Every structure is written in structure tokens, then in C-alpha cells.
Amino acid sequence: MVRFIVRMILAAILFSTTVPATASETPSPINQTIEDALQRGWGKISFNIRWHFEYVDQEGKGIARGEPIRLRLGYLTPKFSGFQAFAEFEGNTPVFMNDYNSIRNHKTQFPVIADPAEAELNQGWLAYSGLPDTTIKGGRQKIIYNNHRFVGNVGWRQMEQTFDAASILNQSIGNSDLKLAFVWNVRTVISKSVSVASPTL
């Protein structure tokens, strides 16, 4: 099901980008409505496709090959009275080569490439920035501290690691960022939830 959805979206994108437009053509009503809404400050759409190839030769396990494609689509609302919301869908699927153990596909005869064919809500949060130099955010979100050294989104994998958390960012002291987060759930790179409950500084 995930592969079908991602392939249909990719086909629609390919078709829309390969059909030339003439000078006399006018935008469709739907496209014009979206464009007008964005120009009026009705929010921001984010879109990302990433193809990834990985080859693993592991002693005792043989060779694994995978080339999954990830689709990410999000929408950020404009600010209203200090409030702003963001929602982002993420889907990943192999297209041609699927000879690897994604940890979710039960292909344990192959080495691990931790990029499963899954779809999920990658981010979904509500933020408030009405206080001076302070942003409070609640919901599923990225948390990246100290250049990903201990806490981060594991950006080199296809499915991003995100956190169900409440976080505070304060930038009132010079060039310093003061961050505090309370995390109760981690959505891992293999699209599994791991429950935790600990403050993160």
C-alpha cells in the first residue's frame, strides 16, 4: 500500500513536470486557488523527494542492495496571535532493489539497511511564540542538539527520527540558545514508537 501511494505521487509529479506549458495556457482553478492562498500568506507547503542507494557486503550474511525513495510533504500555517502549526507526511518505499533486511520486512537472510517501506506522520506540532525571545512547541517534532551528537533526527536514514515532546527555546541571552524538552515518545528511523519520559537539556 505504501509503495502504491508513493509511486502514484511520483508519477503525478513526473507527469506534471514533463508536460510543457504554452504562453496562452492559464492555470487550472485548483492551482490558481493554491497560488493565491500562498501569496496572501496562507502558509507554506514543503516538498522533498530523496532517492537513496546503499550496498552492504557483510561477512556471514552476504550482500544487501537497496534503493528506496522517500517522499516528504508538509504544510506550515502562518502565525496567528503568536500561534503556528505544522504537519508533515513521510513515506518511503524501495522501487527496484529490495534485497535487504529493513528490520520490518522479515528478510533476515540479508544484512541490515534500516530503511523500511513505511508511511507515517513525521511531524505534527503547535507552537507559540508570543513571549519575548521564546518559542514553546508541543507535538511530534524534530529535536537536534549539539550537532546530532547525542540527540537528533538521524538525517542520513530515509525515515526521520522525531520526538513526541514539549519543548522550549529561549534566545534572550546574546547569541546563546537555551533549550529544554520533555520527551514521552520517540518515533524511530524504522517507524516504531519507543516510549520514554525524561527531560532533555
- Identify any residues that bridge with 86 across adjacent strands, giving them in sequence order: 76, 125
What integer pLDDT is reported at residue 174 of this predicted model? 87
The string of pLDDT tens digits covering residues 149-189 is 889 999 999 999 999 999 999 999 988 999 999 999 999 99
Mean pLDDT to the nearest integer, 143-148: 89
Per-residue pLDDT band at 148 (split at 50, 70, 90): confident
- Domain that residue 20 falls in: 2-200
Residues 67, 97 contacting (CB under 8 angstroms): yes
Domain of 37, CATH number, reads: 2.40.160.10
The string of pLDDT tens digits covering residues 12-64 is 454 444 334 333 445 556 556 655 655 567 899 999 999 999 999 999 999 99
Which of these, 20, 84, 92, lies nearest to 49 by C-alpha position? Answer: 92
**Residue 49 to residue 54: CA distance in whole angstroms:** 17
> What's the number of domains the chain is made of?
1
